[in-house]
Amino acid sequence: MAKPLSIFHRSLSSNIEQEASEMEMNTVMCLLTDAEGTPLGSAMYIPHNAGHLQLTNLVNTFLNNEEKLSYSFYVSDEELLVSVGTYMERNSVSVENVLKIVYRQQAVFRIRPVYRCSQTISDVHEGEILCVSFSPDGKQLASGSGDTTVRLWDLNTETPMFTCKGHKEHVLAVAWSPDAKCLVSGDRDGKVCCWDPSKGELQGNALSGHKKWICGIAWEPAHLSYPSRRFVTCGKDGDARIWDFTLKRTLIVLSGHTRAVTCVKWGGDGTIYTGSQDSTIRMWEITQQGQGILKHILKDHAGWVNSLSLSTEYVLRTGAFDRTRQVTCSDEEMKKIALERYIKAKGKIDSLERLVSGSDDFTIILWEPSVSLQPKQKMVTTARLTGHQQLVNHVYFSPNGQWIASASFDKSVKLWDGVTGKFITAFRGHANCVYQISWSPDSRMLLSCSKDSTLKVWEIGTKKLKHDLPGHEDEVWAVDWSPDGEKVASGGLGKALKLWKG
């Protein structure tokens, strides 16, 4: 690789030096590295007036990209928005030092920010809306409510499509399978209902097993099993149960937590992570015989663990569905596509996904799999992200895994670096507790919903508020951005579901 690179290097740099000599400007010694630190070529001279465009061209050429991909550049964790020379002057960096520029690929597509409410659907749900979720292909929307129904919505006409009755208590959680064919909801009684989303019918009976209410549901990733069959639910009784959708029964019960399990996530390597009010996170594995065994207990929190997020979470949720792809492939192909997407999202092939957990002790911990030679992969605390002044209610990795966003009851949303855990910025603007966050699929925008009945769209590039979306009558409890980036759905205490558009 070195030779061709150097040829390019020479030809390019000669071009650049020609330009430089034409401009009679000085050059700066720079080293381009990617997010994990591997350098791209060797240190080279770049003219002073090299800005975003020239650097993008450089990176594209070096990586031999067929299409011109867009990148964003960071120097010592700050985004490089001006030309290299201006940056050097401003920060008075000595010309003799090699300037390390980190490049990050931005998503090829750009999502339009949502700013207007396209539809307010007021009288359909008779109870407060407790959870909303778009299907992974972005075609359907499901909402669970305090009037014990799950409703499916038609996104083309923005009207209700099916009313799914089967629960006897408030519906607390809904989850779509990664192949978008199954919908599962959990309620306050501990009952789980499986639905057929194309007809809106209950499949089988309400499954009982949990003794108290259900806090979260997670599906097995698409690249591990296609079509999706297994999902795990966690509840207040301290158990996590793995169910089979087609057999309609519990396969395995993962008990061990002493208090309520607040969140559960199924990782891409098959590990199940459960976070609980006893301030521990447990990692479970399913053996070949179909037993669930405890792998590790992560004990670093001092308060209830409120929320978990994996760096590959978005990809696991959407499975094989990209923004553009339609479901025309066979099952095997879909599984392969899902696996490809998963590996791409992880980074290197042998690296594992990172985990972030937000807790009642006002801190967030970023966990990374340890590099030690133990036979079992254990998660070690990389960083403890402090700074919030109230409990952290929701943490969420960005779809490209580069950032972590955290919503807290101290009315702020904080943005952290997804790899190192370093604090980037705080978004302030809400007037009351921030409940949930949702990322746009291109990771450029962040949406937060709050007790003060507004939603706010924040832009990551400029680190500012992009749009304020008022209009809800009362607290907003659930928000979701569709995976194709077109629509946002939100609902809360005021019983109206609102759909927002760009």
Rule CB under 8 A: choose which of 71, 435, 439, 500 binds another protein.
Answer: 435
Please give the Cα distance from 80 to 72 (Å, whole number).
8
CB of 394 to another protein, least distance (A): 8
CB of 443 to another protein, least distance (A): 24
Q: Check: CB of residue 262 under 8 Å from CB of residue 224.
A: no
**Nearest residue to 491 (alpha-carbon basis) of 475, 470, 467:** 475
CB of 276 to another protein, least distance (A): 12
Q: Check: CB of residue 103 under 8 Å from CB of residue 71.
A: yes
Q: What are phi and psi of 82, to 5 degrees?
A: -110, 180
State yes or no: residue 213 binds another protein (CB under 8 A). Answer: yes
Binding to another protein (CB under 8 A) within 139-178 occurs at: 145-148, 168-170, 172-173
The size of the interface with another protein (CB under 8 A), counted in residues, is 29
Q: Using CB under 8 A as the criterion, what x/- string covers residues 304-343 for binding another protein? A: --xx------------------------------------
Q: How far is CA 417 from CA 27, 422, 424, in A?
A: 30, 5, 6
> In this complex, which beta carbon is closest to another protein, that of residue 145 or of residue 274?
145
CB of 438 to another protein, least distance (A): 14
Q: Which stretch binds another protein (CB under 8 A): 209-217, 362-370, 382-390, 462-470?
A: 209-217
Please give the Cα distance from 320 to 353 (Å, whole number).
18
CB of 367 to another protein, least distance (A): 21
Please give the Cα distance from 430 to 407 (Å, whole number).
11
The strand pair at 99-105 and 129-134 is best described as unpaired
Sign, Cα dihedral of 160, 165, 170, 172: negative
Q: Write the CB contacts of 317 (distance below 8 Å, at least 6 apart in sequence).
A: 136, 178, 483
**Nearest residue to 143 (alpha-carbon basis) of 470, 476, 455:** 476
Tokens 């990664």 label which residue?
A: 178
DSSP state of 72: E
Q: Using CB under 8 A as the criterion, what x/- string covers residues 44-63 for binding another protein? A: --------------------
Q: Which stretch binds another protein (CB under 8 A): 89-97, 155-163, 197-205, 210-218?
A: 210-218
Q: Using CB under 8 A as the criterion, what x/- string covers residues 18-37 for binding another protein? A: --------------------
CB of 172 to another protein, least distance (A): 4
> In this complex, which beta carbon is closest to another protein, that of residue 79 or of residue 169?
169
CB atoms within 10 A of CB 42: 12
**Nearest residue to 438 (alpha-carbon basis) of 365, 383, 492, 487:** 487
Q: Using CB under 8 A as the criterion, what x/- string covers residues 438-477 for binding another protein? A: ---------------------------------------x
> In this complex, which beta carbon is closest to another protein, that of residue 127 or of residue 369?
127
State yes or no: residue 130 binds another protein (CB under 8 A). Answer: yes
Q: Write the CB contacts of 473 (distance below 8 Å, at least 6 apart in sequence).
A: 453, 493, 494, 496
Sign, Cα dihedral of 346, 348, 349, 351: negative
State yes or no: residue 68 binds another protein (CB under 8 A). Answer: no
Rule CB under 8 A: choose which of 85, 178, 190, 216 binds another protein.
Answer: 216
Q: Write the CB contacts of 89 (distance below 8 Å, at least 6 apart in sequence).
A: none
CB of 125 to another protein, least distance (A): 10
DSSP state of 39: B
> In this complex, which beta carbon is closest to another protein, that of residue 265 or of residue 444?
265
Q: Which stretch binds another protein (CB under 8 A): 57-65, 71-79, 156-164, 214-222?
A: 214-222
CB of 186 to another protein, least distance (A): 9
State yes or no: residue 394 binds another protein (CB under 8 A). Answer: yes
Please give the Cα distance from 375 to 296 (Å, whole number).
12
**Nearest residue to 427 (alpha-carbon basis) of 454, 442, 419:** 454
Rule CB under 8 A: choose which of 44, 84, 131, 499 binds another protein.
Answer: 131
Q: Which stretch binds another protein (CB under 8 A): 6-14, 49-57, 91-99, 122-130?
A: 122-130
**Nearest residue to 181 (alpha-carbon basis) of 163, 203, 159, 164:** 203
> In this complex, which beta carbon is closest to another protein, that of residue 150 or of residue 320?
150
CB of 262 to another protein, least distance (A): 7
Binding to another protein (CB under 8 A) within 243-282 occurs at: 260, 262, 277
> In this complex, which beta carbon is closest to another protein, that of residue 172 or of residue 222?
172
CB of 393 to another protein, least distance (A): 6
CB of 381 to another protein, least distance (A): 23
> Structure tokens of 225?
């099993």
State yes or no: residue 303 binds another protein (CB under 8 A). Answer: no
Tokens 């031999």 label which residue?
A: 64
3-state SS assignment for residue 6? helix
Length of the chain: 502
**Nearest residue to 237 (alpha-carbon basis) of 253, 219, 249:** 253
- What residue ranges bind another protein (CB under 8 A)? 127-128, 130-131, 145-148, 168-170, 172-173, 188, 213-216, 236, 260, 262, 277, 306-307, 393-394, 435, 477-478
